[in-house]
Amino acid sequence: MSVIGARDFTDAVSLAVTYDGKQFQVAPKWGISTLPETLEWLLWADRLGFCAECEKLFEVTSYRWKYCTDECAKRATDRKWRQEYRSKLKKGPAKKGRRK
């Protein structure tokens, strides 16, 4: 699948091995040199994301992966709960009857 304007970032980060006379050092080697490339790579690597509630750009962590703040998460959860509650009210009370 090809997307117009899409870039391949598989070679953006590599490992570099150096020897300082005593031991080998392994460190990441970045192939990214500009801020726009860095931001694009962070989006591609799922380190940055857009909040599902307010659509702001934020850093994704193991704790925050869908919403940027606790306030956004609470607002979205409250809205979902109210929608479900209203749909239950529209359906009316559950009918009690014989089981088949």
- Position 99 in a domain: no
Q: Are residues 52 and 85 in the same domain?
A: yes
**HSE (CB half, 13 Å, CA atoms) of 99?**
0
Q: Of 5-9, 30-34, 52-56, where does mean pLDDT reach its minimum?
A: 5-9
Does residue 1 sit in helix, strand or coil?
coil
Q: Is the pLDDT of residue 71 over 90?
A: yes
Domain total for the chain?
2
Count CB neighbours of 53 within 10 A: 18
Q: Is the pLDDT of residue 9 over 80?
A: no
> pLDDT digits over 46-68, tens only?
788 889 999 898 888 888 889 99
- 0.75 surpassed by pTM: no
- Position 58 in a domain: yes
Q: Are residues 81 and 53 in the same domain?
A: yes
Residue with tokens 């380190």: 47
- Position 98 in a domain: no
Instruction: Give the distance, in angstroms, between the CA of residue 47 and the centroid of all CA atoms in the same chain.
Output: 7
* Of the candidates 28, 38, 51, the residue with the CA atom closest to the CA atom of residue 7: 38
Average pLDDT over residues 30-46: 77
- Position 29 in a domain: yes
Domain span at residue 13 reads 1-33
Q: Are residues 61 and 86 in the same domain?
A: yes
